[in-house]
């Protein structure tokens, strides 16, 4: 009898701890509910390491290429926005095009950022393979969605798509992202962006279970300078 009660107690404690951990992991970071509070200026150059369901890749960001875009990306990454985001629009046929992501799996966060637009940057660099760029819905409508170019998409340059960085490690990982769903609804059979915004993770888990996702994205600390470079 005592052994049975002890077992129940241990199981109950484990369940409570598991429930508490799940609740903690699902908690919304307060800063992500207040886009206007995230205004830190990014360093001139910084790296972001993406850990995904296919492996890791690293993006090198150049603020001089697109300052507003680089600043927005920096703030989003530092506050965990891209964690658990799916690569919901991966287009490889009829020619290599792009891998797009950046709609929060949490509908409340997605709603908070839906109209948090930033002004356009001048397009100083071309949309070549491996370059990363904010998606837009017209002039001055960039929010959180970004895409990585699979091929030479220089035709986008004149349309206001300003690259702010490029993949410097792991482009082979980006190439492997699941793309068989194709274009999004209603043009194709992929995720409907409106439903992804309003229903989040529940929508993709149910209807698009094969989508790859970002497990975690972090700004990589700058490498320490050699001792000889220190100021005297």
Cα separation of 44 and 192, whole Å? 36
pLDDT over 90 percentage in the chain = 79
- CB 45 within 8 Å of CB 223: no
Whose structure tokens read 């009660």? 5
**10 pLDDT exceeds 50?**
no
Nearest CA among 63, 45, 71, 61 for reference residue 168? 61
Q: Which residues form the domain of 68?
A: 45-221
* 22 within a domain of the structure (yes/no): no
Amino acid 222: pLDDT: 62
* 23 within a domain of the structure (yes/no): no
Amino acid 9: pLDDT: 39
Cα separation of 219 and 48, whole Å? 4
117 token code pair:
């637009």
Amino acid 225: pLDDT: 58
* 176 within a domain of the structure (yes/no): yes
Amino acid 11: pLDDT: 40
- CB 148 within 8 Å of CB 54: no
Q: Give residue-wise pLDDT tens across range 170-185.
A: 999 999 999 999 999 9
Q: Give residue-wise pLDDT tens across range 11-40.
A: 443 334 434 433 443 456 788 999 999 999
Q: How far apart are the first and last CA of the chain?
A: 74
- For residue 7, CA distances in Å to 11, 12, 13, 126, 184 come to 6, 8, 10, 63, 50
Region 91-114 average pLDDT = 96
* 33 within a domain of the structure (yes/no): no
Amino acid 7: pLDDT: 39
Count of other CB atoms within 10 angstroms of residue 8: 10
Distance of CA 9 to the CA centre of its chain: 41
pLDDT band at 151 (very low <50, low <70, confident <90, very high): very high
Q: Give residue-wise pLDDT tens across range 218-231.
A: 999 766 656 655 44
* 185 within a domain of the structure (yes/no): yes
* 27 within a domain of the structure (yes/no): no
Number of domains in the chain: 1
Domain with 70 in it: what CATH number?
2.40.100.10
* 121 within a domain of the structure (yes/no): yes
* 5 within a domain of the structure (yes/no): no
Lowest mean pLDDT among 25-29, 105-109, 137-141: 25-29
Amino acid 221: pLDDT: 74
């Amino acid at each position: 009898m005592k052994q049975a009660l002890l077992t129940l107690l241990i199981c109950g404690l484990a369940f409570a701890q598991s429930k508490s951990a799940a609740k903690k992991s699902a908690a919304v970071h307060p800063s992500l509910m207040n886009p206007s509070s995230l205004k830190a200026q990014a360093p001139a150059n910084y790296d972001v390491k993406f850990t995904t369901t296919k492996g890791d890749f690293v993006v090198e960001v150049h603020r001089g290429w697109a300052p507003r875009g680089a600043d927005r990306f920096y703030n989003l990454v530092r506050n965990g926005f891209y964690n658990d985001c799916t690569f919901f629009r991966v287009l490889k046929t009829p020619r290599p095009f792009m891998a797009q992501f950046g709609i929060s799996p949490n509908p409340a966060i997605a709603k908070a950022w839906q109209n948090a637009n930033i002004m356009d940057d001048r397009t100083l660099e071309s949309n070549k393979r491996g370059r990363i760029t904010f998606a837009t819905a017209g002039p001055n409508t960039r929010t959180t969605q970004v895409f990585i170019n699979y091929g030479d998409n220089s035709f986008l340059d004149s349309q206001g798509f300003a690259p702010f960085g490029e993949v410097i490690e792991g482009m082979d990982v980006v190439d492997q992202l699941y793309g068989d769903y194709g274009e999004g609804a209603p043009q194709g059979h992929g995720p409907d962006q409106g439903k992804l915004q309003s229903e989040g993770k529940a929508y993709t888990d149910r209807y698009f279970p094969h989508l790859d996702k970002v497990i975690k994205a972090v700004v990589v600390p700058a490498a320490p300078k050699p001792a000889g470079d220190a100021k005297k």
